[in-house]
Amino acid sequence: MGGPTSQTDRRSVIDGTGTDAVADAPPAALVRFDDVRLVFDGAAVDVLALDGLTFDAPSGQITTVVGPSGCGKTTLLRLAAGLTRPSSGQVLYKGKPIAGLNTEVGFITQESNLFPWLTAVENVEFPLTLLGVAKRERRERAREWLRLVGLTGFESNYPAELSGGMQKRVSIARTLIYEPEAVLMDEPFGALDAQTRMMLHHELLQIWARQRNTIIFITHDLVEAITLSDQIVVMSKRPGRLRAEYKVPLPRPRNVFQIFLEPHFDDFYATLWNHFKSELPITARAEVAGDT
């Protein structure tokens, strides 16, 4: 299969035949991380979180970032949202450096963060309230989004009356209702059971196919990354550096319930796992590989 991309080399992609190829005309980057370095001030010693990280999130595509815990994946989203500033280098949105809060992106965190005193439909319509959309229109749009995420009949339920998966559906609908061009997703399905995750993968891809948002998705799950993505960025352990960058060789649309049966899935998973495994602690690598 293909090899890793260096920061200065050509981009290595996997073309669906299992061979390396060079992308002739890659889509324009909506979000670009350009030689980003980030140092956090510590009480005893400064911490280098990101070191010279460069990659693009192409417009209209899903880019997934994987890497070991603590490598700076969530920090990347905070940079794209303008919540954190790089120590050097720059993060660009539509070709312009992000200098403050980036209000053009939606941010879906690990927690659902719903307002407990609002019903599902009231939570979903809340962003439209801030935008001054008339009550009747925002209520109709909120109900439609709840339908899209499979929650028809639960409009009047409060968050405490919903399961974790249902709460996550409401959170996704609330973020996407105002149709942000870019959506940042920080391990949104990590705490859910496997069946619920597959259902949400299916719904997310259905919505993405309709809207074609640019999505930057953080996960530890390599199967989830392959299922959802157009490209996958593999990060090293801290300080976070680009370890590899791959184009996913699976065609769209994808059947998330039978993703393991897709041609090239096994080979691509093995290639991705070899990069990811090398960033694990030695003891963990030996355990996973069955070494003695």
Local confidence band at 25 (pLDDT 50, 70, 90 cut-offs)? low
Owning domain of residue 82: 1-104+184-189+211-292
Report percent pLDDT > 70 for the chain: 86
pLDDT at residue 75 in the model:
95
How many Cα atoms occupy the beta-carbon half-sphere of 42 within 13 Å?
8
- What average pLDDT does the chain have? 86
pLDDT at residue 19 in the model:
34
**In 76-119, beta strands by DSSP E:** 88-93, 96-97, 105-108
Cβ neighbourhood burial of 96 (10 Å; 0-12, 13-18, 19+): exposed
> Which of these three, 179, 199, 222, is where a domain ends?
179
> Tokens 């996997």 label which residue?
14
Is residue 96 domain-shared with residue 233, that is, in the same domain? yes
Give the residue-averaged pLDDT of 63-84: 94
Does the structure show a pLDDT above 50 at 250? yes
Q: Which of 29-33, 57-61, 221-225, 284-288 is predicted least confidently?
A: 284-288
pLDDT at residue 127 in the model:
92
Is residue 94 domain-shared with residue 219, that is, in the same domain? yes
In angstroms, how far is the first alpha carbon of the chain from the final one? 27
Is residue 168 domain-shared with residue 222, that is, in the same domain? no
In a domain, 120, yes or no: yes
Say how far apart CA 60 and CA 269 lie, in whole Å.
24
Is residue 170 domain-shared with residue 34, that is, in the same domain? no
Is residue 172 domain-shared with residue 292, that is, in the same domain? no
What's the structural domain count of the chain?
2
Strand order of the β-sheet with 47-58 is 47-58, 29-40, 88-93, 96-97
Give the residue-averaged pLDDT of 249-261: 94
Local confidence band at 33 (pLDDT 50, 70, 90 cut-offs)? very high
Name the residue among 239, 246, 238 with its Cα closest to residue 275: 246
Local confidence band at 191 (pLDDT 50, 70, 90 cut-offs)? confident
Is residue 165 domain-shared with residue 288, that is, in the same domain? no
pLDDT at residue 178 in the model:
87
Does the structure show a pLDDT above 70 at 7? no
Local confidence band at 13 (pLDDT 50, 70, 90 cut-offs)? very low
SS3 161: helix
Q: pLDDT tens, 143-187?
A: 999 999 999 999 999 999 999 999 999 999 999 998 899 999 999
Q: Which of 5-9, 122-126, 285-289 is predicted least confidently?
A: 5-9
> Would you tell me the crossing angle of helices 135-148 and 164-176 to the nearest 10 degrees?
130
Task: Please give the model's pTM, rounded to 2 decimal places.
Answer: 0.85
Give the residue-averaged pLDDT of 229-236: 95
In a domain, 198, yes or no: no
In a domain, 206, yes or no: no
Is residue 13 domain-shared with residue 99, that is, in the same domain? yes
Local confidence band at 281 (pLDDT 50, 70, 90 cut-offs)? low
Does the structure show a pLDDT above 70 at 78? yes
SS3 32: strand
pLDDT at residue 28 in the model:
82
In a domain, 194, yes or no: no
> Which of these three, 160, 179, 198, is where a domain ends?
179
pLDDT at residue 46 in the model:
87
pLDDT at residue 17 in the model:
33
Say how far apart CA 71 and CA 67 lie, in whole Å.
6
